[in-house]
Amino acid sequence: MRDYLTKSNLPVSDYVVNPYVGCPHGCKYCYASFMKRFTAHDEPWGSFVDAKMCDKPINIKKIAGKEVFLSSVTDCYNSAEEKKERQMR
């Protein structure tokens, strides 16, 4: 079962949530572009955004009192957000 929450090894958080694979920005300084190797995309980093489709909601009890980092390897407030929301309705 896929989960939006991923246990984090970052010193600043207990969990991370990356709702997208990829990012539309392609910043020159991006430290997350290595994520492309875990996708099937041939396009350059910054050219694709795939919404993660998880089959269970985030367990609020699990993150109570924990630090949750939104978007360690994407931008969760990107321009595709509105379009993806409409597709899911």
Of the residues 23, 36, 48, 49, which one makes contact with ligand SF4 according to CB under 6 A: 23
User: What 3-state DSSP class applies to 55?
Assistant: coil
Report the C-alpha gap between 26 and 88 in whole angstroms. 25
* Residues written for the chain: 89
For residue 5, give the H/E element and its range. Answer: strand 5-7
Q: How far is the CB of 62 from ligand SF4 (least distance, A)?
A: 25
Q: How far is the CB of 31 from ligand SF4 (least distance, A)?
A: 7
Report the C-alpha gap between 16 and 71 in whole angstroms. 7
Task: Tell me: does residue 20 bind ligand SF4 (CB under 6 A).
Answer: no
Q: How far is the CB of 65 from ligand SF4 (least distance, A)?
A: 27
Binding residues for ligand SF4, rule: CB under 6 A, are: 23, 25-27, 30, 32, 46, 73-75
